[in-house]
């Protein structure tokens, strides 16, 4: 099997398991939507205020509640699955890339699912919305990368559901910055290219460290 | 925001004392904790051997 | 005399810290800020010590991955712990300094935000270390996390810096020479303190490793050994 074929199979396996449990679609996405409903009740339901704060709150919800996408059941392989993947001769870097793609796709799904809720409840300004086709995948990829790296180092740890978010959230700050500032730039009609470049830079740095760490981490599992 | 307000604060020494107490005190607490753990490790090693 | 020889680093450090403290209290007050500015002489050295410690953690992580020698893991772990403590102290003292000068405990200044995030990043690093039991696995995983974190830190800093610079300019201000010497003195004293703390913390890490190995050894005792080869000095069920 070629490298990319291996990547495809690993990603397909993860997404197949996810499609059976529907954890992100039926549990995490509604949970995130519920959070978007609760926030105005706490900070006030003033329409201009919500329209202004909406995008920022959206990203916070994506980032924090997106942790549940990263921690989902289908992202966790048991010892038996890991042994099987090893015996099949899947390259560690391919396994990492495949898992990252699966998680990123699900985070992207989560982002897209929350979009209409944001628009309906907060009525944000949607100037330059076409840029979202770049911003949403870039943030999803960054979260997928961070999530897969962090999941790799927290495999089979009893407290992984608490530990993984602590490892990810401080490091995901540039993603939040890039996403929120790009939207802010669009709203004010300013250039957003630097922020997109920031997102690309974060994704690249994480991809390189993740791929390089894949082999040593694989050894760590056994 | 980072621009200095500039005015000489009247109770400056209070703040200075608080800051120095935190840092030097914090350092002392850390040293104490380290010493405690060192002593405990030595004791437990002695008990085991 | 033996005490002097064994503890010379500690003695020098205490001396330096004491002298630095005296100097910080007696040097002329800052022209604009007055006496509050004296907080700088412990705040900046603490932050410096913390950054130095995290740098050493990164070096230890890289070195472990290359050599797989356990001593590098001990260096990374010990240094990270010291770094977290001093990051916390630097933030706390900085907030006390900020209150009278800026009128509030916190501002969203890039260095502040980055330092606060560093605190949490390395808190996570230490939590990861606590959570993994097997020493080699712990070393490997934390080395990887240590490097991934270190790679992200400049990006974290630049992204906040960039964000703030769009909104306001920062006003770096130079300080007078006697004040700068005092600051340098503090930095040197704290660097010595770091080396003392690291040495002790490394000793602790070594002892704890030894302890773990001994405990493991004892838990591996052959079943029935008490009957076939009873230990006469102590009862097995004490």
Kindly list the residues from chain C whose CB atom is less than 8 angstroms away from the CB atom of residue A79: none
Give A148-200 as a DSSP string: HHHHHHHTT-TTHHHHHHHHHHHHTHHHHHHHHHHHHHHHHT---HHHHHHHH
Radius of gyration, CA atoms only, chain A: 18
Is the ipTM here above 0.90? no
In this prediction, the residues of chain C whose per-residue pLDDT falls under 70 are 1, 165-175, 221-238
In tens, the pLDDT along A44-83 reads 888 888 888 888 999 999 999 999 999 887 777 777 777 7
Interface test with B, best of C18, C39, C202 (most B CBs within 10 A): C39
- Residue C22 CB neighbour total at 10 angstroms: 11
Polymer length of chain B: 49
Cα dihedral sign, B49-C2-C8-C11: positive
By Cβ distance, the residue of B3, B12, B44 closest to C211 is B44
Mean pLDDT, rounded, for A6-29? 90
In tens, the pLDDT along B12-31 reads 888 888 999 999 999 999 99
Closest to A174 (Cα-Cα) out of A195, A193, A189, A188: A195
Q: Where are the alpha helices (DSSP H) in A71-124?
A: 79-87, 92-122
Residues 82-141 of C with CB under 8 A from B: 82, 85, 88-90, 92-93, 96-97, 99-104, 107-109
In the numeric block, the tokens 């992580």 are attached to: C61
Mean pLDDT, rounded, for A132-159? 91
Residues 1-20 of B with CB under 8 A from C: 1-6, 8-9, 11-13, 15-16, 18-20
In tens, the pLDDT along B27-42 reads 999 999 999 999 999 9
Burial pattern A121-158, b for ≥16 Cβ within 10 A else e, equals bbebeeeeeebbeebbbbbbbbbbbbbbbbbbbbbebe
Polymer length of chain A: 222
What pTM was computed for the model? 0.87
- The pLDDT, as a whole number, for residue A127 is 80
Task: Say which residues have a Cβ less than 8 Å from residue C222's Cβ, sequence separation at least 6.
Answer: none
In the numeric block, the tokens 């699900």 are attached to: A106
Task: Say which residues have a Cβ less than 8 Å from residue A81's Cβ, sequence separation at least 6.
Answer: none
**What are the angstrom distances between the C-alpha of A65 and each of A32, A127, A143, C187?**
6, 26, 11, 42
Q: How far apart are the first and last CA of chain A?
A: 24
Token duo for residue C173: 């201000």
Token duo for residue C61: 């992580």
- Number of Cα atoms under 13 Å in the Cβ half of residue A68: 17
CA distance C164 to chain A (A): 11
- The pLDDT, as a whole number, for residue C221 is 66
């Amino acid at each position: 099997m070629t490298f990319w074929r291996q990547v495809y199979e690993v990603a397909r396996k993860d997404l197949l398991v996810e499609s059976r449990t529907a954890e992100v679609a039926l549990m995490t996405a509604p949970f995130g939507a519920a959070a978007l409903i609760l926030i105005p009740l706490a900070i006030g339901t003033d329409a201009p205020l919500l329209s202004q704060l909406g995008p920022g709150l959206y990203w916070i919800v994506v980032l924090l509640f997106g942790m549940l996408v990263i921690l989902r059941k289908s992202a966790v392989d048991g010892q038996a699955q890991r042994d099987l993947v090893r015996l099949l001769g899947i390259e560690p870097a391919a396994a990492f890339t495949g898992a990252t793609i699966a998680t990123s796709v699900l985070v992207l799904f989560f982002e897209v699912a929350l979009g209409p809720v944001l628009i309906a409840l907060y009525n944000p300004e949607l100037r330059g919305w076409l840029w979202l086709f770049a911003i949403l995948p870039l943030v999803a990829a960054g979260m997928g990368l961070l999530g897969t790296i962090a999941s790799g180092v927290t495999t089979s740890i009893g407290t992984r559901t608490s530990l993984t978010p602590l490892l990810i959230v401080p490091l995901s700050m540039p993603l939040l910055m890039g996403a929120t500032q790009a939207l802010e730039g669009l709203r004010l009609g300013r250039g957003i290219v630097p922020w997109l470049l920031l997102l690309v830079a974060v994704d690249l740095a994480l991809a390189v460290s993740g791929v390089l760490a894949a082999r040593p981490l694989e050894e760590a599992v056994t | 925001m980072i621009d200095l307000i500039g005015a000489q604060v009247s109770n400056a020494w209070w703040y200075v004392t608080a800051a120095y107490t935190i840092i030097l005190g914090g350092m002392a607490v850390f040293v104490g904790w380290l010493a405690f753990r060192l002593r405990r490790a030595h004791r437990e090693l002695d008990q085991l051997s | 005399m033996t005490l002097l020889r064994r503890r010379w680093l500690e003695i020098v450090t205490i001396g330096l810290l004491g002298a630095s403290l005296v100097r910080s209290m007696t040097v002329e007050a800052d022209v604009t800020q007055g006496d509050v500015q004296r907080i700088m002489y412990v705040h900046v050295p603490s932050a410096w010590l913390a950054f130095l410690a995290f740098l050493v953690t990164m070096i230890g992580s890289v070195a472990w991955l290359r050599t797989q020698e356990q001593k590098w893991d001990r260096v990374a772990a010990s240094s990270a712990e010291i770094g977290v403590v001093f990051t916390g102290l630097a933030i706390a003292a900085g907030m006390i300094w900020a209150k009278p000068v800026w009128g509030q405990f916190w501002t969203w200044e890039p260095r502040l935000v980055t330092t606060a995030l560093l605190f949490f990043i390395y808190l996570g690093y230490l939590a990861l270390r606590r959570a993994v039991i097997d020493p080699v696995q712990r070393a490997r995983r934390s080395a990887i996390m240590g490097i991934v974190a270190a790679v992200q830190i400049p990006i974290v800093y630049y992204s906040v810096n960039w964000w703030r610079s769009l909104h306001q300019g920062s006003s770096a201000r130079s300080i007078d020479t006697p004040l700068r010497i005092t600051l340098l003195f503090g930095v040197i004293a704290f660097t010595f303190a770091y080396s003392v703390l690291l040495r002790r913390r490394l000793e602790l890490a070594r002892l704890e490793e030894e302890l773990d190995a001994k405990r493991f050894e004892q838990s591996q005792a052959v079943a029935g050994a008490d009957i076939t080869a009873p230990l006469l000095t102590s009862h097995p069920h004490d």
